[in-house]
A and B are shown apart, each in its own frame.
Chain A
Amino acid sequence: MARAIELAISGLSLGGIYALVAFAMSLTISTTRILNVAHGVFFVWGGAFFVILSQRLGLHPVASIAILVALFFAFALLFQWFIVRPLLGRSVHLLLVGSILATFGLAQSMESALGYGWVTWVDPYPVFASSLVLFPVSLGGVSLAGSRLVILAFVLLMVTGFHLFLQKTFMGKGARAMAQNFDGFVVIGLNPYRLSMILFSLAIVATAISGAFYVLAVPLNPYEGLPLTLKAFTVVVLAGVGNLPATLVAGAVLGTAEVITSQFFGTVWAPAVSLTLLFLVLVVRPTGLFGKGVY
């Protein structure tokens, strides 16, 4: 029983991170129709920079997170200006192909830059792991790593933030409007470039910080970005694009399914879980298990 609870908690915290990363992705896909293949790479970069700041430079973890936010906000602005802006005006087919190729190119160069830079300047062993020890919690025979609980708390905080942003603020309403009808959004005189800048900043910063929290519990390596994008996309498709509550459920389902698969069939089969799930859902219900996006 204790083992089952431990598995559930680690599955939930893993799934919570997936859900958060996936929701950030879904926010940008549903509004701008740009598929950002480099999304998972931002996650890995977030984790790597957190390790550099908090361990190599010895900064306080909270200060490191604050620097990460500023750094990735700047990244997001560049990303919006050089990649999103030129793509936004294209027709549907060209936008799709262009966004996949451009962001794949970006992902590849970011990955190799990180892999090379890390090995050359930081550590010959390319694994990003945090040695930050967080209080272990023991409850009636169930021992929990403190990092898992910190991750869960972070996920809850971010999800509440996203929910309030989308429901209560003018910008959030704008995002929902853009997702429902892009042409209508432009016709009534709103500026898709400005809104996409805000959405991509939110998405990229949230993803990078998720990476920082993730390395508290699980080590990352430089080449995990692309598989992670695919995993995030699995969650997006499972849940339906732009559906926040369903994204959380789907993330938890995927995380738990992976933990259980690794436990019983070995870790080599864990990647097959998300792929098979994704394929089945795509084929059976292309709009997602929970219907189309409502936010």
Chain B
Amino acid sequence: MSRLDRRAAPITAGVIALLCALPPFLSSSWLLVMFLSFVWLVITANYDVLDGFLGHVNLGQGAFFGLGAYVATILLNVPSVQQLGALAPLLVTACALVVAALFAAVMAFPLFRLKGLYFAIGTLILIFLLQVLALNLTTLTGGSYGLYIPPSFFMSTFVGYYLALFLAAVSVGLNAYLSRSRLGLAFRCIKEDEAAAGSIGLDLMKYKTAALVVASLPTAAAGVLFALNSGFIDPGIALGVERSLLPPLMALLGGTGTALGPVFGTAIIRALETVFFHYLRLPVPSALFFGLTLLAVALLIPEGLLRSPRVKRLRAFRVLAS
């Protein structure tokens, strides 16, 4: 444990304790905002496993989210699953995780043949393909009308808050583990130079597949939580393109390849989003300003807050950027 680690541990514990104590003081709409922010944080942190550590821009992270949401919702509409009562949510979560992991493992083979721009587009197609399937396999998914979750399985936002907080902590913890473990070192080796990593004996395909599968699991679980809480999903909600494109933005804003980069990025974007879409009664559509914000972030902070030289000079941030 390095000196920085020893200082970071109590801060992290303090922040998590604070977040655990928060719900009783929040209004129901703020509770929902926080719940959704945790869900976004899970996707963003998982996205960063591939981008920050493995150097692959994965625009298909939202596909795992949608897959988790759809598998859970479809299964909860099966009568024999409903008879399990309290066990049913656990069962469907397990199924959703298995399906997402299988999907990731199967897709890893074709996807990792691609590099750079082509990998990005190849992964982006996944979410569009799933969208087309969800829209057109109407007997299974309800098509554009979407699917409802039976009311007895609704999850309150209060419970969802803690579960999503737990998932987010696990995801951020995973990235922190990667930033200081052998496995993470192997990932970063591959990011820096694939040919060199391969020539010193790293099994590239094994590590890449492992990264994709590991990154798919919390995201799929977050999809299940989201579906259970909202009670309704359709292709636009569960498989919208922004599920794939906002996480890269959040990770990039915070700084990729750092454990806390996604946390800062998600917090800033979610704050902006909440202000733009709920508080400012603008005469013109919020999406316009939101788009311009994305543009400005991408142009002005190329390497992300925690990696930007100006921020790194501040002492307090050196602890965070470890």
Contact = CB atoms under 8 A, between A and B. Distances in A.
A94 interface: yes
A90 interface: yes
A92 to B, nearest CB: 7
B277 interface: no
A42 B78 CA distance: 46
Contacts of B55: 93
B135 interface: yes
A221 to B, nearest CB: 15
B294 A108 contact: yes
B148 interface: no
Given A271-B132, A275-B125, A275-B132, A101 B252 contact: yes
Interface string A70-87: 000000000000110011
Question: Which of A29, A92, A268, A269 has the most chain B CB atoms closer than 10 A to its own CB?
Answer: A268
A101 B125 contact: no
A131 interface: no
Interface string B143-187: 000000000000000000000000000000000000000000000
B51 A97 contact: yes
Given A97-B57, A279-B125, A279-B129, A269 B136 contact: yes
Interface stretch (A47-55, A112-120, A252-260): A112-120
Contact of B114 (A90, A113, A272, A286): A286
Contact of A112 (B114, B288, B302): B288
B197 interface: no
B268 to A, nearest CB: 14
B32 interface: no
A283 B241 CA distance: 22
A109 interface: yes
B261 interface: no
Contact of A272 (B124, B132, B289, B294): B132
B249 A101 contact: yes
Given A94-B303, A105-B298, A107-B291, A237 B125 contact: no
A182 interface: no
A284 B50 CA distance: 23
B9 interface: no
B118 A282 contact: yes
A113 B290 CA distance: 11
Contact of A104 (B113, B114, B245, B299): B245
Nearest to A278: B125
A116 B285 contact: yes
B128 A105 contact: no
Contacts of B132: 269, 271-272, 275
B110 interface: yes
A282 B121 contact: yes
Given A100-B120, A109-B289, A272-B132, A283 B113 contact: yes
B295 A268 contact: no
A96 interface: yes
B88 interface: no
Given A97-B51, A105-B295, A105-B297, 8 more contacts: A83-B299, A97-B57, A97-B248, A102-B295, A105-B298, A269-B136, A275-B125, A286-B118
Interface of A: 29, 33, 35, 82-83, 86-87, 90, 92-94, 96-102, 104-113, 115-116, 226, 230, 233, 237, 268-269, 271-272, 275-276, 278-279, 282-283, 286
